[in-house]
Amino acid sequence: MKEDLEFSKDLVLLGLDIPDKWDLIEHMTDALAHAVAPGERGGVTRNRLYEAVLTREREKATGLANGLAFPHARIPGLPKPCLCVARLRAPIDFGAMDGLPVDFVVLLVVPEDQPNIALRVMSQFARLFGDAQERAYLLSLADAESVHEFLARRVLSPETLVTARDIMREPYVSIHPDTPLKDVTRYMRRFGLDAIAVVENDGTLVGEITCERLFTLGMPDFFSQLKSVSFISEFDPFEKYFAEERQTTARDVMETDYAAVPENATLLEIVFELAVRRHSKVHVVQDGKRIGAIDRILVLDRVINI
Amino acid sequence: MSLAIWISLAVFAVTYAFIVTEKIPPSTAAVLGGAAVVFFQLIPHEKALEHVDLDVLFLLIGMMTVVGILSETGLFEWVAVMIARLARGRGMPLLIGLVCATAVLSALLDNVTTVVLIVPITILITQILEIPAIPFLILTAIFSNIGGTATLIGDPPNILIGGKSHLNFNDFLFHMTPAVILIMTGSLIAVFLVFRRAMRVKPEARLRILKAHPRRAITDAVKLKRGLPLFFLILIGFAVSHVFEIQPGLVALAGGMLMVIITRTPLRAAVEKVEWETIFFLIGLFMLVAALEYNGLFDLLGGGLARMTSGSLLVGALAMLWVSGVLSAALGAIPVTIALIPLVSAFIAQAGLPAEQAAQADVLWWALGLGACLGGNGTVLGTAANIVVVQIARKNRYHVSFTHFMVYGIPLTLLALLLSSAYLYLRYFLLALY
């Protein structure tokens, strides 16, 4: 990848003191336009680069987690990917998924037909920043040359596959098997969840409750055999649901055929679970413990819509 | 009896034990049993295959395809809601209306398909009206078996008899339908007398049905407009097929494929509606019984029966009716029919009937048809429709136990067999209307 990527030590910016992310993006785009000759950029102007990254960032913030942000864009006419990294003196808000400010920003522009490169670079940076030691080492390097050399060796060399760990979201809500059903539905509504993991106290994943499951609790089996119900106007199937809700817990209604993958599961495996086996969520587990989750929106957001 | 007969009987008995106890799926047991008789060289391979009646299988596959496509239109929900509306939400008229509709549909369609379509909407209507669902469910199964008795295509025993005898669709209409009308009338009177006080509906519940919109039940009017005329054409095809020496199975199968084209249904979706378990069950049983027949068991039994009845058609017919009725209740209508068909053939061959009485011997087929179809109502295990209804009921938290079903099944079966005996005697022996 390294040979196909425009990334020199001039594109490593250290000790920046820019408190606003929009200003930072502009600054990094300028650096990129300065370091990469117009001929190498296929005639793509600095303004086009800037507008493209800005537009993508306005669609959805690209702050990841562990202090890393990844502003990026796909640009028609760009002959090869160009990368610029910035280490900040003080962390700034980048709308990161873990809610924390970021102090390392990776700006990447790729040819329109090569979004997979953006995905791989993002995965590799996310993996690097997921490792506390490696992250600390990167942040401790004193000069641009060392950072460039480290990234070129550590991040940009291997042609690795995107795995579950790269795109998963840290688990932020789960329920215990003894949670009353009433509370389960409240959690799901509050966090806007299609599916919620049922987890023992030690983090072991034991089941999943989906919206579909909750709906079918209120729908007796025979409804699934009918072709329509619009001919009946006065009948309330949820009467039974509410009658049962009082004494039911998550354990009683959870399903155990949830999708669980190890952290090194490939993107293909994940999409297979979501698209072919029609699970609304894939749980990422390590030794039976839940360490992350990937849902359809997350794949759209981080993979397809990159 | 030869050793081959004994071994064939042993394989049959073991297979049967698996079928009845459901330790493994009955269809799997039947196919493995069928394969076993060939492996043990109790019958040559090609002879066993000859006994797999493709016409019967074609008929079932074709009709299941046709009905599966029609069911997607919401037609059956429409029928049930219309009946509920016409009954104005009153319990007894609704019960009678629904079981009559089930009987008529079962006469034209496969029974299992009919109950799978009717039972869910029946449960919905009983829940809306707040009346007990279980009598409706059990009686739906029972009347689907009674209704199916009326035609060649209605009940599996009739389909099997039609496949192995010279009798055609019209013969069944002429001989079986009057019997079924008699039995339906008697059974409905019994149902009315038993349930007339148990079906009271609260006025506010009745109002819910009166506010129903049956037309909204039709989910695909275009498919219905295309498919329904073809369905009636297929029925006409059954009635005239013997003139062209075409078997009903081919009419049904070709009709099913035409239905696929005309309604623009993907073939894969259409054939998914076929109950392949039933098809495999029959394939296995055909081969199993073929071994018994090949080794001469039915010649022996037929000869014995002919001697015991002294060649009397009346005694033979009544014996066939009650024996097939009791056996169907205990062992299931399909295997009993497959086993008894060669016995009827052997009896006719060995009873030494004079030439002028040969046509009268058909009474034995009618006796077998009535006995097997109606006897299947005695227990849950009697017919596939009974089993399916009980399964759907259980999924919806209505527990119908074996004995609970028999409380309804046994009296109505006895009534049906008594009325059948009267019908056979009066029509064929007293009035001699062959």
pLDDT-based confidence at residue A148 (cuts at 50, 70, 90): very high
What's the confidence (pLDDT) of residue A242? 64
Inter-chain CB proximity A227 and B123 less than 8 Å: no
What's the confidence (pLDDT) of residue A131? 84
CA distance A224 to chain B (A): 9
Inter-chain CB proximity A232 and B128 less than 8 Å: yes
B contacts of A244 (beta carbons < 8 Å): none
What's the confidence (pLDDT) of residue A238? 61
CA distance A234 to chain B (A): 6
Residue scoring higher pLDDT (B311 or B361): B361
Give me the mean pLDDT over the B342-365 stretch. 81
Inter-chain CB proximity A222 and B392 less than 8 Å: yes
Give me the mean pLDDT over the A236-250 stretch. 69
Give me the mean pLDDT over the A145-159 stretch. 81
Transcribe A265-287 into DSSP letters.
Answer: -BHHHHHIIIIIS--SEEEEEET
> Searching chain A, which residue's CA lies closest to the CA of residue B213?
A231
Give me the mean pLDDT over the B389-398 stretch. 88
The answer for A203, left when phi > 0, alpha when psi is -120 to 50, beta otherwise, is left
Helices (H), B241-396: 248-262, 267-271, 276-294, 297-308, 313-331, 333-350, 362-375, 384-395
For tokens 């797999």, the residue is B52
Asked if A48 and A68 touch (Cβ cutoff 8 Å), the reply is no
Give the residue from B351, B430, B417, B416 showing the smallest Cα distance to B188: B416
Is A228's pLDDT higher than 80? yes
What's the confidence (pLDDT) of residue B69? 93
Is A215's pLDDT higher than 90? no
Q: Given CB atoms, is A236 within the 8 Å cutoff of chain B? A: no
Inter-chain CB proximity B81 and A231 less than 8 Å: yes
Interface test mutation site (partner A, options B77, B79, B114, B128, max chain A beta carbons within 10 A) = B77
Give me the mean pLDDT over the B143-164 stretch. 93
Is B389's pLDDT higher than 80? yes
Is A1's pLDDT higher than 70? no
Inter-chain CB proximity A221 and B392 less than 8 Å: yes
Q: If interface means Cβ-Cβ distance under 8 Å, which residues of chain B face chain A? A: 71-74, 77-78, 81, 116-117, 119-121, 123-124, 127-128, 207-208, 211-217, 219, 392, 395-397
Query: What is the percent of chain A with per-residue pLDDT over 70, rounded to a whole number?
Result: 92
What's the confidence (pLDDT) of residue A299? 82
B contacts of A234 (beta carbons < 8 Å): 128, 207-208, 211
Inter-chain CB proximity A226 and B119 less than 8 Å: no
> Searching chain A, which residue's CA lies closest to the CA of residue B70?
A227
What's the confidence (pLDDT) of residue B99? 96
What's the confidence (pLDDT) of residue A66? 87
Q: Which of A243-252, B19-28, B113-122, B150-159 has the lowest mean pLDDT?
A: A243-252
Q: Given CB atoms, is A192 within the 8 Å cutoff of chain B? A: no
B contacts of A221 (beta carbons < 8 Å): 392, 395-396
Is B57's pLDDT higher than 60? yes
Q: How far apart are alpha carbons A288 and B426 in whole angstroms?
A: 75
CA distance B364 to chain A (A): 40
What's the confidence (pLDDT) of residue A244? 65
Inter-chain CB proximity A230 and B120 less than 8 Å: no
What's the confidence (pLDDT) of residue A194? 87
Mean pLDDT of chain A: 86
Q: How far apart are alpha carbons B8 and B222 in whole angstroms?
A: 52
Alpha-carbon Rg for chain A in angstroms: 23
Phi, psi of A220 (to 5 degrees): -60, 160
How many contacts, defined by CB atoms under 8 Å, are there between A and B? 66
> Searching chain B, which residue's CA lies closest to the CA of residue A219?
B396
Tell me the pLDDT tens digit for each residue of B113-124: 889 889 999 999
Residue scoring higher pLDDT (A52 or A119): A52
> Searching chain A, which residue's CA lies closest to the CA of residue B123?
A222
Give me the mean pLDDT over the A113-127 stretch. 83
CA distance B260 to chain A (A): 19
Q: How far apart are alpha carbons A5 and A109 in whole angstroms?
A: 10
Starting at the earlier edge strand, list the strands of the sheet with A205-210: A174-175, A195-199, A205-210
pLDDT-based confidence at residue B65 (cuts at 50, 70, 90): very high
Tell me the pLDDT tens digit for each residue of A56-95: 999 888 888 889 999 999 999 999 899 999 999 999 999 8
- In the annotation, is A148 catalytic? no
Q: Given CB atoms, is A221 within the 8 Å cutoff of chain B? A: yes
Asked if B284 and B335 touch (Cβ cutoff 8 Å), the reply is no
Inter-chain CB proximity A231 and B212 less than 8 Å: yes
Amino acid (one-letter) located at A278: R
Q: Given CB atoms, is A238 within the 8 Å cutoff of chain B? A: no
Q: Which of A154-168, B185-199, B415-429 has the lowest mean pLDDT?
A: A154-168
What's the confidence (pLDDT) of residue A243? 66
Domain boundaries, chain A: 2-158, 181-304
CA distance B118 to chain A (A): 9
What's the confidence (pLDDT) of residue A239? 64
Give me the mean pLDDT over the B147-160 stretch. 93
Tell me the pLDDT tens digit for each residue of A246-283: 678 999 889 999 999 998 888 888 988 888 888 989 99
Give the residue from A195, A190, A186, A175 showing the smallest Cα distance to A250: A175
Is A220's pLDDT higher than 80? no
B contacts of A233 (beta carbons < 8 Å): 211-213
Q: Given CB atoms, is A228 within the 8 Å cutoff of chain B? A: yes
What's the confidence (pLDDT) of residue B307? 80
What's the confidence (pLDDT) of residue A264? 84
What's the confidence (pLDDT) of residue B199? 85
Superfamily of chain region A2-158: Mannitol-specific EII; Chain A (3.40.930.10)
Amino acid (one-letter) located at B121: I
Is A241's pLDDT higher than 60? no
A contacts of B121 (beta carbons < 8 Å): 226
Q: How far apart are alpha carbons A299 and A296 in whole angstroms?
A: 5
Which is catalytic among the residues A27, A72, A148, A283? A72
**CATH class name, domain A181-304:** alpha beta
Choose among A221, A226, A230: nearest Cβ to B121. A226
**Cα end-to-end span (Å), chain A:** 18
Q: Given CB atoms, is A159 within the 8 Å cutoff of chain B? A: no
Task: Indicate the pairing of strand A102-111 with strand A82-92.
Answer: antiparallel
Asked if B160 and B249 touch (Cβ cutoff 8 Å), the reply is no
Q: Which of A175-179, B5-9, B211-215, B300-304 has the lowest mean pLDDT?
A: B300-304
Residues B232-239: contacts with CB under 8 Å, at least 24 apart:
B234/B66, B235/B108, B238/B152, B238/B153, B238/B169, B239/B169, B239/B170, B239/B173
pLDDT-based confidence at residue B306 (cuts at 50, 70, 90): confident
Query: What is the percent of chain B with per-residue pLDDT over 90, rounded to a whole number?
Result: 57
Q: How far apart are alpha carbons B44 and B42 in whole angstroms?
A: 7
Is B227's pLDDT higher than 80? yes
pLDDT-based confidence at residue B420 (cuts at 50, 70, 90): very high
Tell me the pLDDT tens digit for each residue of B164-180: 888 999 999 999 999 99
Give me the mean pLDDT over the A130-155 stretch. 88
pLDDT-based confidence at residue A49 (cuts at 50, 70, 90): very high
SS3 label, residue B191: helix
What's the confidence (pLDDT) of residue A157? 61
What's the confidence (pLDDT) of residue A304? 67
B contacts of A223 (beta carbons < 8 Å): 120, 124
Q: How far apart are alpha carbons B366 and B427 in whole angstroms?
A: 12
Q: How far apart are alpha carbons B332 and A164 in whole angstroms?
A: 54
